[in-house]
Amino acid sequence: MKSIDTLRFGGQDVLPLIEGGKGVSVSTGVSAGHWAAAGGIGTISAVNADSYDQDGNPVPQIYHGRTRRERQQELIRYAIDGGIAQAKIAHDISGGKGRINVNILWEMGGAEEVIIGILEGAPGLVHGVTCGAGMPYRLSDIAVRFGIPYYPIVSSGRAFNALWRRAYSKAPELLGGVVYEDPWRAGGHNGLSNTENPLSPEDPYPRVLELRRVMRNYGLGETPIIMAGGVWHLEEWQDWIGNPELGPIAFQFGTRPLLTQESPIPNAWKRRLLTLKKGDVYLNRFSPTGFYSSAVKNSFLNDLRDRSERQVPYSQESGDGYEASYGVGARKREVFVPAGDRPRIAEWEAAGFTEALRTPDDTLVFVTPESAREILADQTACMGCLSQCRFSNWMQKEPYTTGQKADPRSFCIQKTLQTISHIPPGADDDVIMDHNLMFGGTNAWRFGTDPFYANGFVPTVGQLVERILTGR
């Protein structure tokens, strides 16, 4: 195994090992602070981070606004307060070692307000801003305003080229690094384009080499590229380390920090990670963001998959293959479906899936009355956590709607992520895990085969970093 030399980030030489940002109370100040204390770069998430009352208890994110816009303003305030709180925790734990970055999703509702609010409220405590999930053109403007490095997340050289030409060329001195997040291997939301096959992962080396070629064209040959997605053992990446073709390379770990003593995720989640098998994490298209996302297969995802399979096209008018009349909703408003689909509909109704919900694609999905009530209630309670949401049809700019029908084939991502990370006292945590979204990288199954985790061993962050430095 090649030795891992330090790289310069934010004016300090640190280990080129970065904790990947994971939103909604997963990448906290505790985990980030310990990662930085171990000599690397810790990352706090600005996506609905927890803030605390005077007794140290998390402040429940309860929304009182009557409109979605009012509730979004509450969400932004929660996110700012939480990000400031987590930055202070990370700073105190790190003891001045390493670096602390903050991660934000550009497609989060109020992303700019949130990151600006955190940087204003935690001066000197954050050393860099990482941002992906969209095209964060204004990230460099924010970095210039606060004089800190910025780290865009991209999945191709083409994406970086667009960002550079439009915005980043104006602030090259603050570009701390470029995160290449592999769209097939990373956990959470992934940047697969319409031309890329989700079932055919590409070798990341040529893609990163192309990114470096683009960067060299702009004089960025020594700006680090941070490889993210699918990184487990560094000995599997030896050919990347010290490779003159690639230039300076750092590695980001998103999945492995989930299973540490400092990781804030519930113990049931940690137990589940140790039991995963290859294939238990897969890419899906159910997210209200419209992006592919990588998550653990469980009842939650199975329900979304089955829901989409109980789907038929419909028309407001009879004809052109739509000849069978069908009544939708409490008033049984007449629509028309293909005659060949009537037997399937009858089977679904006999099984209890009696409620037909319209989708933006002129289809009907069939769900139970209980599911229909929950879907409609969640859509009504939308708090604008995304800049655009296909589940609720929210858009944060006037007229505050996408103009599309709300999509019942998706889900309220804020609700499920808050639920899985804040299990109420007395609840069955295994049931909660099974019925909510559990993000994970495609390598998460390796927890069960890696000898480091034998007999259910859960390391500290420091022990994990030491292990990674051995190549393993």
Q: Give tens-digit pLDDT for 320-344.
A: 999 999 999 889 999 999 999 999 9
Please check whether residue 340 lies inside any domain of the structure: yes
**Rounded distance between C-alpha atoms, residue 250 and residue 176, angstroms:** 12
Band (132; pLDDT cuts 50, 70, 90): confident
Please check whether residue 1 lies inside any domain of the structure: no
> 308 with 166, same domain?
no
How many Å from the N-terminal Cα to the C-terminal Cα in the chain? 9
Band (3; pLDDT cuts 50, 70, 90): confident
Per DSSP, the residues of 268-304 read: HHHHHHTT--TTSEEEES--TTSSEEEEE-SHHHHHH
Q: In this predicted structure, what is the pLDDT of residue 14?
A: 97
Please check whether residue 292 lies inside any domain of the structure: no
**How high does pLDDT run on average in the chain?**
95
**Residue 406: what are its φ and ψ, rounded to 5°?**
-60, 140
Please check whether residue 285 lies inside any domain of the structure: no
> Please, what sign has the CA dihedral across residues 387, 393, 394, 395?
positive
**Rounded distance between C-alpha atoms, residue 239 and residue 102, angstroms:** 29
> 417 with 450, same domain?
no
Domain count, the chain: 2
Domain that includes residue 376, residue range: 299-434
Residue 388 pLDDT exceeds 90: yes
Q: In this predicted structure, what is the pLDDT of residue 197?
A: 87
Structure tokens at 249: 């390379």
> 221 with 364, same domain?
no
> 56 with 140, same domain?
yes
Mean pLDDT (whole number) for 151-164: 96
**Rounded distance between C-alpha atoms, residue 156 and residue 181, angstroms:** 9
Mean pLDDT (whole number) for 351-373: 97
24: amino acid identity, one letter: V
Q: In this predicted structure, what is the pLDDT of residue 424?
A: 84
**Residue 47: what are its φ and ψ, rounded to 5°?**
-90, 95
Please check whether residue 202 lies inside any domain of the structure: yes
> 141 with 259, same domain?
yes
- Locate tokens 């990184």: which residue? 231
**Rounded distance between C-alpha atoms, residue 433 and residue 268, angstroms:** 7
Please check whether residue 289 lies inside any domain of the structure: no
**Rounded distance between C-alpha atoms, residue 249 and residue 241, angstroms:** 7
Please check whether residue 348 lies inside any domain of the structure: yes
> 73 with 158, same domain?
yes
> 428 with 451, same domain?
no
Per DSSP, the residues of 322-357 read: B-EEEEETTTTEEEEE-GGGHHHHHHHHHTT--EEE
**Rounded distance between C-alpha atoms, residue 98 and residue 42, angstroms:** 8
Residue 194 pLDDT exceeds 80: no
> 161 with 80, same domain?
yes
Mean pLDDT (whole number) for 136-156: 96
Band (192; pLDDT cuts 50, 70, 90): confident
**Rounded distance between C-alpha atoms, residue 54 and residue 19, angstroms:** 29
List Cβ neighbours of 289 (8 Å cut-off, separation of 6 or more): 107, 133, 189, 386, 389, 390, 413
Helix and strand element counts for the chain (H, E): 13, 18
Q: What letter does residue 240 receive in the DSSP assignment?
A: G
Contact criterion met (CB below 8 Å) for 280 and 297? yes
> Please, what sign has the CA dihedral across residues 245, 171, 17, 160?
negative
Peptide bond into 399 cis (omega under 30): yes
- Percent of the chain topping pLDDT 90: 92
> 264 with 127, same domain?
yes
Residue 100, domain CATH: 3.20.20.70
> 234 with 313, same domain?
no
Q: Which of 181, 228, 182 is nearest to 202 (CA)?
A: 182
**Residue 378: what are its φ and ψ, rounded to 5°?**
-65, -40
Q: Which of 184, 168, 96 is nearest to 131 (CA)?
A: 168
Q: Give tens-digit pLDDT for 217-272.
A: 999 999 999 999 999 999 999 999 999 999 999 999 999 999 999 999 999 999 99
Mean pLDDT (whole number) for 338-352: 96
Which DSSP helix (H) or strand (E) runs through 225?
A: strand 225-228
Please check whether residue 286 lies inside any domain of the structure: no
Q: In this predicted structure, what is the pLDDT of residue 405?
A: 95
Output helix, strand, coil percentages for the chain, rounded to the nearest 5: 35, 20, 45
Q: Give tens-digit pLDDT for 394-447.
A: 999 999 999 999 999 999 999 999 999 999 888 999 999 999 999 999 999 999
Q: Give tens-digit pLDDT for 263-309.
A: 999 999 999 999 999 999 988 999 999 989 999 999 999 999 999 99
Cα dist from 454 to 370, 418, 472, whole Å? 42, 30, 14
Q: In this predicted structure, what is the pLDDT of residue 468?
A: 97
> 39 with 143, same domain?
yes
> 418 with 452, same domain?
no
